[in-house]
């Protein structure tokens, strides 16, 4: 009989850490989008935004992506950076899907927007994971 790869419960906690981070980034991003649409900063849904508004959306998405890496790392049962990098892969795949959609339908918005999200997925998650590692190292025993 071979030993399990992870102690009982660790795999579930690992999956939860990454899933919670994905949900946090999604809820925060969509939440700010909804608020900005409601305040009429953004045009109505399904109407194309101007480039400066896409820049605004990019700015808070970058911050939320760093936060997601932090959440994944802090909730991880072990190896916070590994969990942040798994989140980076998930973010990279989702961003690539957004880039493909933008290429297929150029009227959705400027191509630079999903491209920035693709290029920033790994660095943002890494930074969040690094912040989580530092917070864990400072935590009293």
* In a domain? residue 28: no
What is the predicted pLDDT for the residue at 140? 73
Flag whether pLDDT at 18 surpasses 80: yes
pTM: 0.90
pLDDT, tens digit, 9 for 90 and up, residues 64-96: 999 999 999 999 999 999 999 999 999 999 999
* In a domain? residue 57: yes
> Structurally, how many domains does the chain consist of?
1
* In a domain? residue 41: no
What range does the domain containing 127 cover? 10-15+47-138
* In a domain? residue 26: no
CA atoms within a 13 Å half-sphere pointing along the CA-CB vector of 40: 0
* In a domain? residue 77: yes
> Positive or negative CA dihedral for 130, 132, 138, 140?
negative
pLDDT, tens digit, 9 for 90 and up, residues 24-54: 999 999 999 999 999 999 999 999 999 999 9
SS3 call for 70: helix
Q: Which residue, among 96, 94, 74, has the nearest Cα to 84 in the 3D structure?
A: 74
């Amino acid at each position: 009989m071979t030993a399990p790869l992870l102690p009982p419960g660790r795999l579930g906690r690992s999956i939860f850490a990454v899933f919670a981070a994905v949900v946090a980034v999604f809820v925060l991003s969509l939440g700010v989008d909804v608020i900005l649409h409601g305040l009429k900063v953004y045009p109505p849904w399904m109407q194309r935004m101007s480039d400066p508004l896409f820049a605004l959306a990019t700015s808070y998405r970058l911050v939320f992506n760093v936060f997601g890496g932090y959440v994944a790392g802090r909730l991880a049962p072990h190896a916070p950076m590994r969990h942040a990098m798994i989140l980076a892969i998930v973010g990279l795949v989702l961003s690539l899907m957004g880039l493909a959609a933008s290429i297929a339908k150029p009227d959705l918005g400027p191509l630079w927007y999903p491209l920035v999200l693709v290029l920033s997925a790994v660095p943002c998650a890494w930074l969040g994971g690094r912040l989580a590692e530092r917070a864990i190292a400072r935590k009293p025993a």
